[in-house]
Structure 1
Amino acid sequence: MRVPPYYERPSVKRFLAGMILGIIIGWFFFVYQYGQVYEGLVFRISEQEAIINGLEDDIELLRSEQSRLNEENEKKLTIQEIDILFSNDRRLRLNQLTLLDLKQQVLHELQDIKGRDIETVSRMSDLMISNLENKVFRTGDKRYQLSVEQVHLHTTLRIYVKIIPSNS
């Protein structure tokens, strides 16, 4: 048995020619659309790369500016608050009023330090300590001297002192 020759019929020839022509037109359409999409993506990527490079430059500029400002601020840090802590107030069994009065007197002695640069205060810390240790503080009818144990310098000046009852 033999397969009939369909390629000799004109309708089959038109059908095959239409399929080949459709494949060729479809292929060109696909290549054109792919090229358009690819070109759009390449343009978008290059646009985004330009934006990213600009933002990275801005970040670098801001970081350098921030580090410069931080260095300047470190040089200009000032004492904002003074905190006096007594180390032996429980052992001496002093009442809260006496402790408050002592604290107020010490803060009055150190009021000039508030608002000064930390660097300046650190240079004159020995003078500040000797000033506190050599002064006799009076509360009511009793006298007390202070012995500075620790000094912590930052925006808050913390001074740890020991209360010594004075005999003179």
Structure 2
Amino acid sequence: MHIPPYHKKKSVQRFLAGTFAGAVIAYLLFVYMHGSMYSHLLEENRDLKSEVTELRNQNEALLEDNENLGEKSKEPIKVETIDITITNEEDLSDSLIIHDLEELIREEITHIVGKNVSIISESDDLLKATIEGKDFTVDDFTYQFTVETLVIHQTVKIAVEADISN
């Protein structure tokens, strides 16, 4: 039995070359789409993890406060949440780094949740010094922050500017 020599025909050679080129392009397209999808899912995962951590801390502080509510019902307003905004996000290389930095700052000052607003407002300079005085390291880069805005109420809103230190 003899196999016909189709590989010598130009039309078959073009078909095989086109099939190979199409397979390479399809593979590259698949790798690109998979990478972008994975990046998006990773960012969403970090957002959700930071939200869960924040809600756990808030829940613990509020449960602790609720236990003491009966005897301290006439106390002033307490801090419930912390909202951190980095003003120069466009200068940072990746949105994942932004979430990590916000989470590190939040962990540094999470002790103020559940405290009286009057106590926190009296020590606002200490709160600023806590943030500005510490270096935060993410992905082998060290960041320092300058507090631009600090609003103290039930939600403590902090706007900071990030600088990469050497």
TM range, smaller chain: 0.5 to 0.7
| Alignment coverage as a number of residue pairs | 95
Contact kept, 8 Å, 2:92 with 2:98, in 1: the verdict is no
Contact kept, 8 Å, 1:144 with 1:164, in 2: the verdict is yes
SS at 1:119 equivalent: helix
Root-mean-square deviation (CA, aligned residues, Å) is 1.7
Contact kept, 8 Å, 1:136 with 1:145, in 2: the verdict is yes
Q: CA deviation at 1:94?
A: 2.8
TM-score (norm 1): 0.54
Work out whether 1:87 is the aligned partner of 2:87.
Answer: yes
SS at 2:130 equivalent: helix
SS at 2:150 equivalent: strand
Deviations 1:15-73 (A, max 9, x none): xxxxxxxxxxxxxxxxxxxxxxxxxxxxxxxxxxxxxxxxxxxxxxxxxxxxxxxxx98
* Alignment match, 1:143: 142
Unaligned runs of 5+ in 1: 1-71
**Distance in 1 between residues matched to 2:79 and 2:117, nearest whole Å:** 6
1:156-167 alignment, distance < 5 Å: 156-167=155-166
**Distance in 1 between residues matched to 2:128 and 2:75, nearest whole Å:** 23
Contact kept, 8 Å, 2:144 with 2:164, in 1: the verdict is yes
Unaligned runs of 5+ in 2: 1-71
SS at 2:115 equivalent: coil
**Distance in 1 between residues matched to 2:156 and 2:73, nearest whole Å:** 17
Distance 1:143 1:119, change over 3 A: same
SS at 1:100 equivalent: helix
TM-score (norm 2): 0.54
Instruction: Give 4+ residue runs of structure 1 displaced > 6 Å after superposition.
Output: none
Q: Percent identity?
A: 28
Larger Rg: 1
* Alignment match, 1:112: 111
**Distance in 2 between residues matched to 1:75 and 1:94, nearest whole Å:** 44
**Distance in 2 between residues matched to 1:111 and 1:128, nearest whole Å:** 11
Contact kept, 8 Å, 1:144 with 1:166, in 2: the verdict is yes
